[in-house]
Structure 1
Amino acid sequence: MHFVGVLPAPLLRWLRAVVSGSGAPVRDTAGPGEGSGPPAINELYHARRLSLVRLAVLMVDDLPTAEDIVQDVFAALYRRHGSSLNTIADPDAYLTSGVLNAARSALRRRRTARAYVPPPPDAAPAAEDQVLLAVEDRQVMDALRGLTARQRQVVVLRYWSELSEQEIAETLRVSRGTVKSTASRALTILRDQLGDRR
């Protein structure tokens, strides 16, 4: 990641310790009040915020997101345990675990957002198209919607595309007799709905 080149030496030592498996990572700052019980949350925030942000940046490769993650983890810690942190055996480990989990969640959300493909818009006719159609044309369109899919295909291919019965039969992979009878039934339905205007 492009942030590695600007990492401070203590964080690089921490990374080397983690990668080599040589034990607990070296911290760049000793916790305030060390040896005298857990620090207050505001002391812990000032002591550990920067190193936790660097850890989150390594995970998500995005400084604003990393800062939000650390802020959220500290806020959750305060909501759950208050400001004294007396109920937590190792607040540093708690915070590190919280930042790592929140960073993984952020990466999952990012992957989900990138993978989302919005559904195609419905093929509804445009409003201006409907306005431009004459009343009779709208009646014909409505009548065509009342036909079966095969009947519409035959009518459109015969009277719009001006294909012969044989060409329609080859296109739809049916017999010529099927084309003829389907067209006849479709025209009967259309004449019943629209009236014979020939």
Structure 2
Amino acid sequence: MQAAVARPPLLRWLRSILPGATEHRSGGAGGPGGVPAINQLYHARRLRLVRLAVLMVDDLGTAEDIVQDVFAALHRRHGPELRTLADPDAYLTTGVLNAARSALRRRRTARAYVPPPAGTAPAAEDEALLGEQDREVLSALRELTVRQRQVVVLRYWSELSEREIAEALHISPGTVKSTASRALTILRGLLGGHR
């Protein structure tokens, strides 16, 4: 009972945000077999589909874009007369729901994205104390993947064994060996004759 009481205010609100929003039903058959042509279908169903999309994405502009995209896809796929489509209304409703879900996924992904923290720049005196070869090595290390850089630093700077590196990084000793080998090949290519 309570849901029936809550429904009219929602419909009034939807009609208030969609100027001229009145429910249209296609009265005539526009295409063969009673299927309306796409322009008739657009005029008859667009507002209802926009309302549906607004309920899904809670944004009128996005909802209108979704409906436009679904109608454009319908036209590309079936042409203006819709002769090959048995139930265009079901096609449109499904298309709007799927597009709204995709928009919500993109929105959720965008909100969840946290940009990586800005790298800490070395102090000016640290840069001044480095020689040209040291700067080249550090630059080459930045070209490695995170895992490769970890393995190289732990092996050649911290002087850990393959077993110790494997335990520290929670990988197998074989992975340590192959990662180190690939990293060294990349570093040799980047550094050329310098060592």
Shorter-chain TM-score: what band?
0.5 to 0.7
Cα shift at 1:29: 2.2
- Residues 32, 39 of structure 1: 8 Å contact kept: no
CA–CA distance in structure 1, aligned partners of residues 127 and 94 of structure 2: 65
The 3 A distance-change label for structure 1 pair 148 and 59 is: same
Q: 1:98 aligns with which of 84, 95, 98?
A: 95
The equivalent residue for 1:53 is 50
Counterpart AA for 2:55: L
Residue deviations 1:40-97 (CA, integer Å, cap 9, x gap)? 1011111111111111000000000000000000000000000000111111111111
The equivalent residue for 1:115 is 112
CA–CA distance in structure 2, aligned partners of residues 148 and 107 of structure 1: 47
The equivalent residue for 1:6 is 13
Residue deviations 1:140-195 (CA, integer Å, cap 9, x gap)? xx59x999459xxxxxxxxxxxxxxxxxxxxxxxxxxxxxxxxxxxxxxxxxxxxx
The equivalent residue for 1:31 is 26
Structure 2 gaps, min length 5: 1-8, 17-21, 139-152, 160-195
Runs of 4+ aligned residues of structure 1 deviating over 4 Å after TM superposition are 145-150
Q: 1:63 aligns with which of 37, 60, 63?
A: 60
- Residues 69, 102 of structure 1: 8 Å contact kept: yes
- Residues 39, 80 of structure 2: 8 Å contact kept: yes
- Residues 23, 47 of structure 2: 8 Å contact kept: no
Give the root-mean-square deviation of aligned CA atoms: 3.4
CA–CA distance in structure 1, aligned partners of residues 104 and 53 of structure 2: 11
CA–CA distance in structure 1, aligned partners of residues 106 and 48 of structure 2: 24
The equivalent residue for 2:74 is 77
CA–CA distance in structure 2, aligned partners of residues 58 and 69 of structure 1: 12
Cα shift at 1:118: 1.2
Partner of 2:100, secondary structure, is helix
- Residues 25, 45 of structure 2: 8 Å contact kept: no
Partner of 2:34, secondary structure, is coil
Cα shift at 1:138: 3.9
Cα shift at 1:122: 2.4
Cα shift at 1:120: 1.5
TM-score by length of 2: 0.54
Counterpart AA for 1:106: A
Alignment of 1:85-164 (within 5 A): 85-125=82-122, 129=124, 137-139=129-131, 148=157
Q: How many residues in Structure 1 have an aligned counterpart in Structure 2?
A: 124
Cα shift at 1:117: 1.0
Structure 1 gaps, min length 5: 10-26, 151-198
The equivalent residue for 2:175 is none
Partner of 2:50, secondary structure, is helix
The 3 A distance-change label for structure 1 pair 94 and 125 is: same
